[in-house]
Structures are given as C-alpha cells and as structure tokens.
Structure 1
Amino acid sequence: MSITQQYLLDTYRARKLGEPAPPAPRAEDRRVVRGVRARRQFRTVLAGRAAHGRTRQALGRWLPPRPRSTC
C-alpha cells in the first residue's frame, strides 16, 4: 500500500469516526520509505543474494521461456 493510499484510508476512517483528519504525507515520508528499501537491498547484497530481479528469477523457474523473434 502506498503512502497516499494509506493516507486516504486513514482520512476515511477518521471521518467515519468523527475524529480529526491525519496530517497529509510529505516528501520526507517518501524519502524514509526509499531509505528503508535501499537498506533492505544493501543487507541482501551483504548476505550474498541478488538485490534485484529475484521475483523475475523465481517466476522464470515456473514459466516456460518466451520464444525470441527472428526479425
């Protein structure tokens, strides 16, 4: 769930319960999320695993290879 989606959900809940609306997301919030993602990727690399492409690699084991075009 993105920051914006969470904000909209929290605003909806607050309105239903008659509470004040939460503060809107700011640019710092996005930076924090990017930092957490970068740190997770860094730890993955330190552990000796691939930081990118793990989902595609996992799907590649289950899905047949796509035929290449011969143009």
Structure 2
Amino acid sequence: MDAMQQHMIDAYRAARLGEPAPPLPGTHDVAVLKELRDYRRFEAVLAGRLATGRLRAALAHLFAPPRPGGHRSPPACR
C-alpha cells in the first residue's frame, strides 16, 4: 500500500467518525527539511564546528589550487 492509498483509507475513516481529514501526503515535507537543517546546524555549534557554509568551505578547500612551495609529489609506486 502506498501513501496515497493509506491517505484515502484514513480520510474515509475520519469522515465516518466525523473527524477532520488528515493532511495530504507531502504537505509538510519542506517544513521537515528546514527543521532537519536547523537541527544539524545546532548540533554543529554544540560540537564546536561552523554552523553555516561547511559544505562550501570543504569544497573550496578540496578544489583550491595548490599553493606555491606546498605541493608535494605523489608517492612512488613500489
């Protein structure tokens, strides 16, 4: 049974009992994702890490051109 079928059953049950119908599947998805983002930022602050821009900083560090004099040659294969 998928989410839409379950919703139809719940809506039928609510109508028979005189209760309000449940929200459609996916109605609160954006709000849940925002709450998850806020929670992850909060956990980062508690752990002493940057709360915002972590992905961008990591990608910038990963793809930054090598600094002069700081470049090492790759290890030799044996």
* Higher Cα radius of gyration: 2
The answer to which structure, 1 or 2, has the higher relative contact order (CA under 8 A, 6+ apart) is 1
Q: How does the TM-score come out when normalised to structure 1?
A: 0.48
Q: How does the TM-score come out when normalised to structure 2?
A: 0.45
**In proportion to residue count, which structure has more helix?**
1
